[in-house]
Each structure stands twice: as C-alpha cells, then as structure tokens.
Structure 1
C-alpha cells in the first residue's frame, strides 16, 4: 500500500467514524424528543428532579396515599376542587380528551390526579362522584387539613390561596398548571395552562418514554 493509499484509507476511516458518532447522537436525541417541541406543547422539564414531601392524603376510595410514594407511573397532578365553577371542569374534560387520543402504551404509563384544594367540602365520596363524570380512572386526593395540601402544593411550586370557608358558596383561587411526577416519585416538571390538546397528544408520549 502506497503512502497516498494509506492517507486516503485513514481519511475514509476518520470520516466513517465521525459519521457514525453523528448518526448515533441524532438517534439518541430522538429518544429524548425535541426540547423545543416539548416546550411549545407547554411541557417544562426541570433540570433536576425534586423530591415530594412526606404527606399522607386520602383517595376517593377512602384509602391513605403517601404522596412521595406515587411511583410506577407518570402522574399529572392538578390542584383544583369539585365546586370549582370553570377552570376545573374544563381542565378535567381536556385531560379526558387527551387521554382518549393517546396510544394505549402511553395511557398505561399515565395517571391523572386531582388534588383537592377544598378539603372542607371535598370528601372522598364527593371526589369519587365528581371524577366519575369525567373518567372513573382519575384519582382524587384530599386531606384532613389544608396545611398538608399547601405543603404539597408549595413543594411542586403550584401554590393556591386557601378560601374563607365561613362565606357561603366560597371559591378557591388556584393555578391551572399541572405538576409532572415521574415514575420514580419525584417531580420532573410542569405542564403550563391553558392546555393545548393537539400538541399535548403529540408530545406526551415523548415525555412518557423518558426514564
């Protein structure tokens, strides 16, 4: 092999190596999705996950649930209440619609959780009846004290203003954002309100494929 042939051989090998690394990087990136597309869909992922506080709540079946043990699936936490006149029924209806349009493998990885910001009125029975209007598989959580709910809401940076329960037909000021909890039980990010159904149907499966 002449010197020229050796030079050509080395250059071809180097080009092949660079192309291989580039293709591998592109393919690896595809598994994580396009960050711009996720953000455009309202999905904001945290650079570092957050642990949830050790707060025990009660689900719609009257069973205790420790929120820092929400593991095994991705959870979307929505802080609302059953007597909410507008944002809550709208958001839950959107989540029902989004879920119905996701592929089955994505649905299997996801659970929707309504965390009540109105424990004074939202008993487990009330939560179960209310969520049944949207999707019986939606989970409802309430607590004996508003302080426990605030502890969770503040930990995931979705605070609310406790209501003056002495007033008749009171309302509760709260956010429409969703907290994203990973299958490891830590907060991974947020989904901004208002929800964009079309974009979320396209991008949620990408998020759900993350580890």
Structure 2
C-alpha cells in the first residue's frame, strides 16, 4: 500500500503527464501544419479550418464567421469593460488603420470577439467600436460558440470573479489571431502591437499569394 508521500508523488506525476498531453496537443495545432515565425508573428504554411460559428454583431444582426472570407481578418478576444488591454489594442489598431493605404484597408477586417456576452450587447458594443473606428466590427455569442472559436485558434478566456454581481473581469489572450481570405486560421501576432510594426505586418499579409 502506498504511504502518504508516495500518494502525493503519484498524484503530482499524474497531473504532469496530463498537462504534457494537453500542452502537446495544443502545440501540435499551434505549430502545424508548419509555421514560420518572425518578430513575434507566426504564419502557418497553410490554413487550419475553423467552425462556421454563428455570432451576433454590434448591429444586432446574426453573423457567421464564413462572412469574413475574401479578406484577411484580425481577430482579438476581449470585452468592452476591459480596463486596459482591449482599449489599448483597439487604439493601436485604429492608428494602424489610418496608416494603411485605402486598397489595403479594403482587404482587411478588424474584429473584436467579445468574451463577455452577459454585458456586451449590440447596444453597448456599437458605440464602443464607433469610438475607436466605425470600420471595425464586434461580435459576441453564446458561451459554447465563443469557447469553440477560442479553442480552434489557440486563444483563451476565463471569468475572474470580484465583489458584486457585475463587477467581474475577464482574463483573455492578448494575441491577434489571423484569419486568411479562405476563412481559415493562419497564425497570430504577439504583442507589442505598436502601429508601425502592425502596419508592416499587415502590408506583408495582404501581399501574400491567396
């Protein structure tokens, strides 16, 4: 029979093995089929299909991810009550947008995927996005659809409780997810997301063969 120390060691070993299996699976998706990484940008050699999830846009209309097809899309996970990362990211993306030629803007979607559907309704998302850039889009949806999308593009989010029913925060990824014109997951951009760097990255993206 195992003594207390042996049981604790066995439990730790089991947890490490499970963690390695989960991490290995995530990395296989993150790095496959093959990827080129330069300056915090990882581009897959070919796209990875994602589900055609149904969401709600800031207009109040239903929106399927397949509607993003035809252009490069920059997705980032966040929420309108975010105190720091989200407004900073949107501000940098707005500054980047203004630096882009009109023909590049025409080939690009910028999309906030709200992970806080309880508070982020179309009525709250529309003015929030309009403040930063009227050309940008916001989507939210039911928790299952949001979880599926996040899992498929190696993103994460989690609710962090605080005092008060609606005083919670949402922990979430800070990377920008790249969806190619075929509507497939094609890579990601890591922070820092300064406008000069983003402008260069985006111009290279839209010039890639489709």
* TM-score (normalised: structure 1): 0.77
CA-to-aligned-CA distance 1:16-59 (integer Å, 9 cap, x gap): xxxxxxxxxxxxxxxxxxx98x722x321013311111310010
Per the alignment, residue 125 of structure 1 pairs with 123
Match of 1:169 among 145, 167, 170: 167
Per the alignment, residue 56 of structure 2 pairs with 58
Give the whole-Å Cα distance in 2 for the aligned partners of 1:163 and 1:119. 15
User: Deviation of residue 187 (structure 1)?
Assistant: 1.1
Per the alignment, residue 101 of structure 2 pairs with 103
Q: Aligned-residue CA RMSD in angstroms?
A: 1.9
User: Deviation of residue 140 (structure 1)?
Assistant: 0.6
Give the whole-Å Cα distance in 1 for the aligned partners of 2:130 and 2:201. 26
CA-to-aligned-CA distance 1:86-120 (integer Å, 9 cap, x gap): 00000000000011011221111111000000000
Per the alignment, residue 150 of structure 1 pairs with 147
* TM-score (normalised: structure 2): 0.77
Q: Are 2:49 and 2:185, in contact at CA under 8 Å, matched by a contact in 1?
A: yes
- Structure 1 residue ranges, 4+ long, deviating more than 2 angstroms after superposition: 162-168
User: Deviation of residue 132 (structure 1)?
Assistant: 0.8
Give the whole-Å Cα distance in 1 for the aligned partners of 2:106 and 2:71. 8
Match of 2:185 among 170, 184, 187: 187
Per the alignment, residue 39 of structure 1 pairs with 38
Larger Rg: 1
Give the whole-Å Cα distance in 2 for the aligned partners of 1:85 and 1:188. 29
Give the whole-Å Cα distance in 2 for the aligned partners of 1:146 and 1:93. 26
Match of 2:200 among 199, 202, 205: 202
In the alignment, structure 1 residue 87 sits paired with structure 2 residue 85:
yes
> What runs of 5+ residues in structure 1 fail to find an aligned partner?
1-34
Q: How many residues align?
A: 174
Give the whole-Å Cα distance in 2 for the aligned partners of 1:72 and 1:194. 27
Q: Are 1:74 and 1:110, in contact at CA under 8 Å, matched by a contact in 2?
A: yes
Per the alignment, residue 3 of structure 1 pairs with none
Decide which structure has greater strand share: 2
User: Deviation of residue 159 (structure 1)?
Assistant: 1.2
Q: Are 1:146 and 1:162, in contact at CA under 8 Å, matched by a contact in 2?
A: no
Give the whole-Å Cα distance in 2 for the aligned partners of 1:43 and 1:155. 18
Per the alignment, residue 30 of structure 2 pairs with none
